[in-house]
């Protein structure tokens, strides 16, 4: 799969709400008609990491106290603990990519 296509799918999967890595992977699997056990998780994690470092997506932890959502610096090692959401820069990337 082309890296730009995967990047756009990941951005789309977090465009409307906070999502976890497993939801992102399930969305990519559905959209590409790839069985989940054949999905390139490392590629998804690497692209997600690139999206975070580029400012397209931010990583968050949910908290039971106020504020309920706290921005964190996401790393691949702890992606399973975080929730992800698109940024305004990520939205602009979606609308500028053909």
Within-domain flag for 97: no
Enclosing domain of residue 26: 3-90
- Residue 95 placed within a domain: no
Eight-class DSSP state of 15? S
Give the pairing of strands 83-86 and 19-20.
antiparallel
Range 61-84 average pLDDT? 79
Give me the mean pLDDT over the 51-72 stretch: 84
Please give the Cα distance from 60 to 94 (Å, whole number): 21
**Does 28 reside within a domain?**
yes
Average pLDDT score over residue span 52-69: 84
Answer whether residue 77 is part of any domain. yes
Provide the pLDDT confidence category of residue 80 given band limits of 50, 70 and 90. Answer: confident
Q: What is the pTM of this model?
A: 0.85
For the chain, the domain total comes to: 1
The mean pLDDT of 9-13, rounded to a whole number, is 95
């Amino acid at each position: 799969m082309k890296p730009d296509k995967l990047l756009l799918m990941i951005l789309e999967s977090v465009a409307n709400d906070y999502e976890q890595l497993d939801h992102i992977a399930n969305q990519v699997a559905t959209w590409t008609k790839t069985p989940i056990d054949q999905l390139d998780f490392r590629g998804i994690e690497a692209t997600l990491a690139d999206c975070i470092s580029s400012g397209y997506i931010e990583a968050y932890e949910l908290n039971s106290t106020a504020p309920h959502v706290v921005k964190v610096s996401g790393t691949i090692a702890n992606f399973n603990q975080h929730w992800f959401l698109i940024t305004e820069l990520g939205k602009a990337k979606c609308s500028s990519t053909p």
